[in-house]
Amino acid sequence: MWCELGQGNFFDEFQMEGVAADHNEIYLELTPENLSRALKTAQNAKTVKIKLTNKHCPCLTVAVELPSLSSSSRIVTHDIPVGVIPRKLWTDFREPTVPDFDVSIYLPVLKTMKSVVERMKNISNHVVIEANLKGEMNLKIETDLVCITTHFKDLGNPLWASEDASQDRDSENMAEARIDIKKLLQFLAGQQVNPTKALCNIVHNRIVHFILLHEDVSLQYFIPALS
C-alpha cells in the first residue's frame, strides 16, 4: 500500500529539516493504530501539532489543544514511539513500480463492489478480477460445486489507457488476475470516503493495482496474483 498526502492540504505551518540538504527527508516506521488512537482525541481540537522528538527514544509527539471553558487551554500530549529508518535502507521504501498493465478501468461504486465480494468470500478464498477496454469488468469465483460471476458494464476506461493499449490489444479481450479474496475485502473495507476517482489496473496473471484519488490524498494498493 502506498499513500501520499500533500502537506499543504493538512498543515497550516510546516517546518522540515531532513538528514541532508540534498536529501530533505526523514523515514519513520510506527504502529498505525497508535497514531490513529492519538488523532481520535483531536476531532474537536482547536489546534494539533505533530513533532519528531527524542524522549528516551524517538517519538512522534502529537500535542492536541482542546476547547476549554476557562481562559487556560487544555493540551493533551501523545508520545508515539517510532523507528528512524537509516538512509542505507531508504531504497526499500520507494514507491513501488508497476509493470505495463494490460487493462485499466474505472471501478464501480466501492460499496456495491464490497457487498458482492463479502458474499463471495463465504464460498471461496479466491476471486478472479477480469476487465477489458470496453468498460466491462467481472468478478468470478469457482469451486467444485459452483461458478458465480458478477458483471459490471459501462464503467469506462481512462482515455490514456485506451489509447496506449488499443494499438496492440483487442478491446474485448479480458485481462485477468486471480487474487486472495480477503486482501481484496481488506482494501474495500478500508474505504471510508468515496474517492473522486477509483481505478483498477490489471497486469495479466501478475498483479492488480488499485488507485484511489481523493481531493487531498492519493492511495495505491497492490495485490499480487496467485498462481
Inform me whether the pLDDT recorded for 98 exceeds 80.
no
- Angle at which helix 110-120 crosses helix 181-189, to 10 degrees, equals 150
C-alpha 138 chain-centroid distance: 22
**Which tens digits make up the pLDDT trace of 45-69?**
889 999 999 988 999 999 999 888 7
pLDDT given at position 8: 83
Give per-residue burial for 49-58: e unless 16+ CB within 10 Å, then b.
ebeeeeeeeb
Averaged pLDDT for residues 189-204: 83
If DSSP codes are grouped into helix, strand and coil, which group holds residue 76?
Answer: strand
Domain with CATH 3.70.10.10 in the chain: 103-224
pLDDT given at position 21: 77
CA distance 107 to 224: 18
Virtual torsion, Cα 77, 78, 83, 87, nearest 10 deg: -40
CA distance 141 to 179: 10
pLDDT given at position 200: 95
pLDDT given at position 166: 47
**Which tens digits make up the pLDDT trace of 8-56?**
888 888 888 887 778 788 999 999 999 999 998 888 888 999 999 998 8
Q: What is the mean pLDDT of the chain?
A: 88
Q: Are strands 2-5 and 217-224 parallel, antiparallel or unpaired?
A: antiparallel
Fold of 103-224: Proliferating Cell Nuclear Antigen (3.70.10)
Residue 85 or 5, more confident: 85
**Which tens digits make up the pLDDT trace of 133-180?**
999 999 999 999 999 999 999 999 988 655 555 456 678 899 999 999
Residue 7 or 141, more confident: 141
